[in-house]
Structure 1
Amino acid sequence: MKTIMFTGGGSAGHVTVNLALIPRFLEEGWTVQYIGSENGIERKLIASVPEVKYFPISTGKLRRYMDIQNVKDPFKVVKGLYQAYRLIKTNKPNVIFSKGGFVSVPVVIGAWLNKVPLLIHESDLTPGLANRISIPFASGVCTTFPETGDMLRGGKSRHVGAVIREEVKQGNADRGRTFCGFTRSKPVILIMGGSLGARKINQTVRHALTRLSKSYQIVHLCGKNQVDPSITMTGYKQFEYVNEQLPDVLAMTDVVVSRAGSNSIYEFLALKKPMLLIPLTKEQSRGDQILNAQSFEKLGYCNVLYEEKLTADTLIQGVERLYDNREAFVERMSLSEDTDASAAVFEWINEIARK
């Protein structure tokens, strides 16, 4: 029986690809394990798959700014590296698959020290900091955007496309309307700022609610601790985060307002949902979401509203423009290449394990 270890965390985006792949390995009889942080979102998400053994390790965040935690975190990383090394040595996986995020770095190095082959997945157009550190230790890198391979040397990369969770494609619009208490009388907007939320987007949406609700029903995924219980408007439903019901919510959705994380926007593309993307600014990130959004905009899959220009008025104008032109967006998205990235990754992992 073969064993695979997954790693990745810090945000839902660093877990969803793993969640999409895990069922295939379980069906094929692999033993599946997961190394993640002690209290990160990955632990909660992986708990939904009871067949997977979860191993928590100490982690430190890779920050690009000054913070007192930068002094403490190197010690956490060293502890996590030791824990990962011991777990890998004890469990002897055939291969390790890393989705990235700061939790993955100790696991990647632990794999290299144990001479266990490792495959990395990069969702964004440009590799993140954790993956840039990890790539030299990896056997290969799966890329989502075809342009990413041009930035990676050594022939390690292979363009596989976007790994999409199968359950996302199986939503039911009627179940979604029942879940949210919506009707067929108005179109539905899904607004989401990522699993960690987006304060600026949330505030702007609430300022625009009265006007938006005249024409649309709104599902608002606000992020942890960012729901405003004082708002009880008809046709407006807010949640911190939606997991099991997300496919149904997406099925009833007409247009999406979202950050530009790669996993999410490729799922919207697969479902042919017109998008208004509000990427994280360069002050908030390394600029990867800006590049993701620009790539999709160039292909005609979305409109982009930069956060620096985000107001209640520009949000409403952006939503109205998107909705009015939704059929053209759907038509262009229908022409996109439909690849089975999950199968491509599964085959590559098998190839590595056989070697």
Structure 2
Amino acid sequence: MKKIVFTGGGTAGHVTPNIAIINELNKKDWEIHYIGSKAGIEKELIEKIQIPYHSISSGKLRRYLSVENAKDVFKVLKGCLDARKVLKKIKPAVVFSKGGFVSVPVVIAANMMKIPVIIHESDLTPGLANKIALRFSSKIFTSFDETINYLPKEKSTVIGSPIRKDILTGSAVKGRVFLDFTSTKPIITVMGGSLGARKINEVIRENLEELTKTYQIVHLCGKGNIATEYTNNKNYNQLEYVHEELADILAATNLVITRGGSNAIFEFLALKLPMLIIPLSKLQSRGDQILNAKSFTKKGFSLTLEEEELTSQTFLAKLAELEEKQETMKQAMQQYNKHDALTAILEELKKY
């Protein structure tokens, strides 16, 4: 039986593509393990699907000067030792990495042990973790065509984003039943990512009375962000996070308001869901979500509203524009020459 180790974490976006691949691997042929951080969201998500999980030390990679950087150098070094110990015990044929700071020690340790490493970069430009990991990799896959310009071309291939197959099989009827919504009003799904999005949460709630005249709103607002004062509004359903129910919710959805995380927006693209993307600002990130959003908007899949410009007025204006352009967006999505990322990855894994 062949053995494989997956790694990646920090946010759900670094984990759900790994789960999509894991779900497609024949468990009779592959012994699957996961290396992640001790307290990251990846631990919860991977243990839920009953894959052996190995925790390692991990430091946070920062692009700015901080006294914490010195401490984190030692955490990364310890992480390399931890990862080496796990890999030595498992002896995998290959390591598959989705990025995030926890992946760096795993990729370095694997390279030192001559274990092939496959990387998938979701964002339009590589994150710091993957920038470090590139030199230790055997193969690099990307979601965006534009990303090839930032990578060593001899080992890089555009394949799109590995989409969870179950996300494409939802039931709109089951989704409305779960949400306790009717079929008489369109549904907007608001997703701020696994950690939530404070400014998006605020603008939705500030305009809730106006929004619920026309729409039913399902608001995935992040852990600890439920606002109890709105729980009596029958057209507004707040959820911290969903797992199995997400496919049904999206099947019932007409429009999406989202951050610019690559995996999420590629799933909405696969579902032909018109979206308003409100990416993380450069004050909160390296600007990767802004680039992702601009690429999708240029291709006609979405509208973009940058967080610095987010007010009740600009939000309602963009939502009205989204309503007006939704059919045109669906046509553009229909014409998208989508890659079958899952098949490409599975074919690559067969080589090992």
State how 1:219-230 maps to structure 2 within 5 Å: 219-230=218-229
**Which region of structure 1 is more displaced relative to structure 2, 153-162 or 16-25?**
153-162
State how 1:1-355 maps to structure 2 within 5 Å: 1-27=1-27, 29-50=29-50, 52-153=51-152, 155-232=154-231, 233-351=233-351, 353=352
The DSSP-based 3-state class of the residue aligned with 2:256 is strand
Runs of 5+ in structure 1 lacking a partner? none
Q: Is the Cα contact below 8 Å between 1:208 and 1:313 reproduced in 2?
A: no
The alpha-carbon deviation at position 27 of structure 1 amounts to 4.3
Amino acid at match of 1:349: L
Q: CA–CA distance in 2 between the matches of 1:312 and 1:179? A: 29
Q: Deviations over 1:35-57 (max 9, x none)?
A: 0011110011111211x211011
The DSSP-based 3-state class of the residue aligned with 1:214 is helix
The alpha-carbon deviation at position 328 of structure 1 amounts to 1.2
Q: CA–CA distance in 2 between the matches of 1:255 and 1:69? A: 41
The DSSP-based 3-state class of the residue aligned with 1:60 is coil
Amino acid at match of 1:117: P
**Which region of structure 1 is more displaced relative to structure 2, 332-341 or 9-18?**
332-341
The alpha-carbon deviation at position 72 of structure 1 amounts to 2.6
Q: CA–CA distance in 1 between the matches of 2:66 and 2:225? A: 24
- Percent sequence identity is 52
The alpha-carbon deviation at position 154 of structure 1 amounts to 5.2
**Which region of structure 1 is more displaced relative to structure 2, 233-242 or 125-134?**
233-242
Q: Is the Cα contact below 8 Å between 1:26 and 1:32 reproduced in 2?
A: no
The alpha-carbon deviation at position 75 of structure 1 amounts to 2.2
Q: Deviations over 1:59-97 (max 9, x none)?
A: 111123455533432222222111101111111000000
Q: CA–CA distance in 1 between the matches of 2:228 and 2:20? A: 33
Q: Is the Cα contact below 8 Å between 1:120 and 1:142 reproduced in 2?
A: yes
Q: CA–CA distance in 2 between the matches of 1:317 and 1:243? A: 32
Q: CA–CA distance in 1 between the matches of 2:191 and 2:39? A: 23
Runs of 5+ in structure 2 lacking a partner? none
Q: CA–CA distance in 2 between the matches of 1:171 and 1:207? A: 30
Q: Deviations over 1:4-44 (max 9, x none)?
A: 00000000000011000002223452000000011110011
Amino acid at match of 1:118: V
Q: Deviations over 1:179-223 (max 9, x none)?
A: 111001110000111111111111111111111111100011111
The DSSP-based 3-state class of the residue aligned with 1:55 is strand
Q: CA–CA distance in 1 between the matches of 2:222 and 2:348? A: 35
**Which region of structure 1 is more displaced relative to structure 2, 295-304 or 60-69?**
60-69
The alpha-carbon deviation at position 337 of structure 1 amounts to 1.2
